[in-house]
Amino acid sequence: MTVSMPTLQLLRNADVHAPEPLGVQQLLLGGGKVLWIGDALPELPAALPVDTIDLEGRRLIPGLVDGHVHVTGGGGESGFSTRVPAPLLSRYTRAGVTSVVGLLGTDDCARSTRELVASIYALREQGLNAWGYSGGYHLPPTTLTGSVRGDIAFVEPLIGVGEIAISDHRSSQPTLDELLRLASEAHVAGLMTGKAGIVHLHLGDGARGLELVRRALDGSELPARVFNPTHVNRRRALFDEAVELARRGCCIDLTAFPVAEGEDAWSAADAWLRYRDSGAPPAHLTVSSDAGGCLPCFDADGRVCGMDVGESGALLATLNELLARGVTLEQALPAFTSNPARLLRLAGKGQIAVGADADLVALDAQGAACDVFIAGVAHVRAGVVQRRGIFER
Q: Is residue 392 part of a domain?
A: no
pLDDT in tens, 91-139: 999 999 999 999 999 888 888 999 999 999 999 999 999 999 999 999 9
**302 falls in which pLDDT band (50, 70, 90)?**
low
Q: pLDDT (tens digit, 9 = 90+) per residue, 211-263? A: 999 999 999 999 999 999 999 999 999 999 999 999 999 999 999 999 989 99
> Which domain range does residue 282 map to?
63-343
Residues 112 and 57 in one domain: no
In this structure, the strands spanning 285-288 and 252-255 are: parallel
Tell me how far apart the alpha carbons of residues 107 and 116 are, in angstroms, rounded to a whole number: 12
Q: Are residues 132 and 262 in the same domain?
A: yes
Q: State CA 111 to chain mean position distance.
A: 21
108 and 195, same domain (yes or no): yes
pLDDT of residue 3: 47
Any domain includes 2:
no
Q: For residue 51, give the CATH number of its domain.
A: 2.30.40.10
Residues 166, 209: contact at Cβ < 8 Å?
Answer: no
Instruction: State whether 143 and 34 are in the same domain.
Output: no
Active-site residue, selected from the candidate residues 108, 253, 290, 359: 290
* Same domain as 198, residue 51: no
Give the integer Cα–Cα distance in Å for 289 and 266: 14
Confidence of residue 299 (pLDDT cuts 50, 70, 90): low
The 3-state DSSP composition of the chain as helix, strand, coil percent (nearest 5) reads 30, 30, 45
The number of folded domains in the chain is: 2
> For residues 123 and 146, what is the distance between their CA atoms, to the nearest angstrom?
25
How many Cβ atoms are within 10 Å of 248's Cβ, its own excluded? 15
Do 159 and 235 fall into the same domain?
Answer: yes
| 64 contacts 372 by C-beta, under 8 angstroms | no
Look up the pTM and report it. Answer: 0.93
Write the CATH number for 118. Answer: 3.20.20.140
Instruction: List all residues 6 or more positions away from 85 whose beta carbon is below 8 Å from its beta carbon.
Output: 73
Residues 56 and 128 in one domain: no
> Do 206 and 330 fall within a single domain?
yes
> Do 74 and 120 fall within a single domain?
yes
Give the Å distances, CA to CA, from 268 to 149, 169, 245, 332, 368. 32, 23, 18, 12, 18
Does 209 fall in a domain? yes
10, 50 in Cβ contact below 8 A? Answer: yes
Closest CA to 217 of 187, 195, 192: 187
Residue 277 annotated in active site: no
Is residue 231 left, alpha or beta, with left meaning phi > 0 and alpha meaning psi from -120 to 50?
left
